[in-house]
Amino acid sequence: MFKAILLERDDRATKAQVATLEEDRLPPGDVAIDVAYSTLNYKDGLAITGKGPVVREWPMVPGIDLCGTVTSSDHAGAKPGDQVIVNGWGLGEVRWGGLAQKARVSGDMIVKLPDAFTPQQAMGIGTAGYTAMLCVLALERHGVTPDKGDVLVTGANGGVGSFAIALLARRGYRVVASTGRVDDAETLRSLGAADVIDRATLSEPGKPLQKERWAGAVDTVGSHTLANICASARYGGAVAACGLAQGMDFPSSVAPFILRGVTLAGVDSVYAPQALRRQAWDCLAREVDASVIGAIAAEIPLSEAIPQASVLLAGKVRGRLLVNVNA
């Protein structure tokens, strides 16, 4: 028996509860894991509250990432006792996810836990930090370097934004943080932001081509914000887009791309290939220390994940919510 958050569909409404389940209810997979920690991400909030069409198979255990210890394996890449991370791959959408004490997954999905991290620290980083690193790597692949100018990070108080600030600052970039909570400016500066701006300066409709400002950007917001970032990117700049908190639309024009050579790089954390995942986690192991994780992540027990989902969607959570599934 194990505890899990179980989502069920009832008259088109989502019912979420902490349930005690038999192990034989776990889905097929060649690797069984005792989960130590998971996280509560924006996508998990949508799934738990039913406010977004995240779940595609019912019933579902949410949780788009997990870290724990392999208990049994029929996969050549994992053996009992290995500590592993699983991010994405449809967890919490089409596969039972990490907000549970046990999981069963395909061994092709796992990444070995870097020696630098405990399971708690790894999930303090979680999908948010991993996605932030994918964004940083994307910017650098497209030629963004610290000498080129300011790099903007939107949704700066969120998990991806917070880690993006810390990672970019550590690599020597001058980071400008955009947030709806400018009263948290000092927290963002402590992570490495050189300047903090109100998100309202970017969130309204703007001209298709604006004054050049950003050598690069990590955008978690989408919609008008992303359009304005592209319109104000410097010649040859790059924008890594990984989120849609403001919306899925992109009310822009081709002007920044054909007149200034701007690159819009989409960043997908869910189905990223294993080589890129390992590169991201290797970089995180070298560049993120415990003090940064502690400043960004707050721990909650499994029982708090359901009520905190609504708080997260309301934009009232700063940084990350780390879930101890055994507490």
Task: Note the pLDDT tens digit of each residue in 99-117.
Answer: 999 999 999 999 999 999 9
Exposed/middle/buried for 91, CB within 10 Å: 0-12, 13-18, 19+? Answer: buried
Q: Would you state the structure tokens that stand for residue 23, as one six-digit string?
A: 């192990």
Helix residue spans in 28-71 (DSSP H): 42-49
pLDDT digits (tens, 9 = 90+) for 250-304: 999 999 999 999 999 999 999 999 999 999 999 999 999 899 999 999 999 999 9
Report the distance separating Cα 178 and Cα 201, nearest Å. Answer: 9
CB 151 within 8 A of CB 195: no
Q: Domain spanning 126-266: which CATH class is it, in words?
A: alpha beta
- Give residue limits of the domains in the chain: 2-113+290-324, 126-266
- Both tokens of 276, joined, read 């890129």
- For Cα atoms 136, 139, 140, give the angle at the middle one, nearest 5 degrees: 90
**pLDDT, average across residues 32-39:** 98
- State the Cα–Cα distance between residues 88 and 231, nearest whole angstrom: 31
* Threshold 0.85, pTM exceeds: yes
Query: HEC states along 217-281?
Result: EEECCEHHHHHHHHHCEEEEEEEEECCCCCECCCCCCCHHHHHCCCEEEECCCCCCCHHHHHHHH
Q: What CATH topology corresponds to 2-113+290-324? A: Quinone Oxidoreductase; Chain A, domain 1 (3.90.180)
pLDDT tens per residue, range 220-246: 999 999 999 999 999 999 999 999 989
- What pLDDT was estimated at residue 316? 86
Q: What is the pLDDT of residue 319?
A: 85
Give CA–CA dist 311/113, Å, rounded: 30
Q: What does the mean pLDDT of the chain come to?
A: 96
Same fold, 2-113+290-324 and 126-266: no
